[in-house]
Amino acid sequence: MIRQYTAYSLLAHNTFGIEAKAARYVEFASQSALIDFLGDGFRGKALVIGGGSNLLFVDDFDGTVFHSAIMDIDIVEETANDVLLRVGSGVNWDALVAYTVEKGWSGLENLSLIPGEVGASAVQNVGAYGVEAGDLIEKVETVRIADAVTCSFTKADCDFAYRHSIFKATEKGRHIVTYVTYRLKKTIEFKLSYGNLKEKVEELGGATLANVRRAVCEIREAKLPNPEQIGSAGSFFMNPIVAADKAAQLKSEYPSMPQYPLPSGEVKLSAGWLIEQCGWKQTPHEHVGVYQHQALVVVNLGGAKGSDVLKFASAVVASVKEKFGVELNMEVNVIG
Ligand code: EPU
């Protein structure tokens, strides 16, 4: 089934809470309905959205917004150790995590409470607490917009890296994700080394899937704004990655700077820390600021336009560049 609207408000489809309109909005409930709709291919201006938790609308969108309402979840293979789960791209991410935890299948529990939907998790390679969605993804199925042909990408094809996939690079804007298949484990492998996760899990009574989920939810609730109450798009910037010598120079100047060495030899820095050091927790602009408990999150203080958010973000980037000589890149997808 297809549902179509014109001059459609996207307010309820972006967690920043910004008013913008789509010339046309198309929601599809199955892959076959989408293929029928696209016919021999769609050549207009297209934007595919998930839960709208990583979008910043600066203008109205004068093309067609596609949104998946494919909701099926099927076990496609099950062995003594593994479950292969094929999930519709419209399924709410956290509902999927809750479902897998309830079933006793491990893999996604550290990714609890991330806003958004299954399709976007593969594009964005969402990650938190030492796990990335791409670690669990076996296959991504799409429909190609230009010719309505179905495509299938293996994990290797997807080229997952930190907040990165082929769908943000060479295949950007070309596909509508319809299904993502995850390989989950029946023998539980806990990943508790990030921050205070282990401590929190112990407080809750020890490592079980349910306790890991609860611990992650509690940590996130304490640090990140609830999109239903405060407009934001989660982390606004990516954590910057710098060369080892640059990291060493910064460490000698700022001994308390958090740094995370990567296998490549480069070092990941905390954008939140850098932004906080530039004083942004104390200096909001009109309508826009950073979240008091996590400076990486830019928040709509009420009535912000996309352009207000962008102006604020540019001032943040410039201050971090000036103080630390480090370039911040946006994680959020700016539309318009
Ligand atoms: N920090 C500060 N001040 C701040 C924020 C952070 O000093 O205002 C310090 C913290 O004390 C800590 C370090 O920076 O030492 C890292 O902070 P945190 O553990 O909160 O994680 P993050 O690197 O800021 C990333 C992800 C989050 C994810 C967390 C946990 C990105 C862009 N963000 O944040 O993802 O939940 O790790 O794994 O990689 C999202 O993408 O929307 C998101 C919330």
pTM: 0.96
List 82's β-bridge partners, or say none. Answer: 185
Nearby residues of 95 by Cβ (< 8 Å), 6 or more positions away:
none
Nearby residues of 309 by Cβ (< 8 Å), 6 or more positions away:
16, 18, 56, 288, 298, 300
Pocket of ligand 1 (CB under 6 A): 128-129, 194-195, 223-224, 234-235, 238-239, 258, 270, 272-273, 276, 294-296, 331
- The Cβ of residue 207 has, within 10 Å, a number of other Cβ atoms equal to 14
pLDDT along the chain (336 residues), means of 10: 97 96 98 97 96 96 98 97 98 98 98 97 97 98 98 98 97 98 95 96 97 98 93 97 98 98 96 98 94 97 95 98 98 94
Closest ligand 1 atom to the C-alpha of 293? 8
Tokens of 241: 């990655």
Q: Distance, CA 72 to ligand 1 centroid (Å)?
A: 32
- Best residue among 235, 298, 329 to mutate for probing ligand 1's pocket (most ligand atoms within 8 Å of CB) is 235
Would you say the C-alpha torsion 299, 301, 305, 308 has a positive or negative sign?
negative
pLDDT computed for residue 228 by the predictor:
87
pLDDT computed for residue 8 by the predictor:
98
Indicate which residue's Cα is closest to atom 38 of ligand 1. Answer: 128
Catalytic residues: 163, 235, 331
Indicate which residue's Cα is closest to atom 37 of ligand 1. Answer: 128
pLDDT computed for residue 227 by the predictor:
86
- The Cβ of residue 238 has, within 10 Å, a number of other Cβ atoms equal to 17
Give dist(CA 224, CA 295) in Å, integer: 10
CB of 68 closer than 8 Å to CB of 117: yes
Give dist(CA 80, CA 209) in Å, integer: 18
Indicate which residue's Cα is closest to atom 15 of ligand 1. Answer: 258
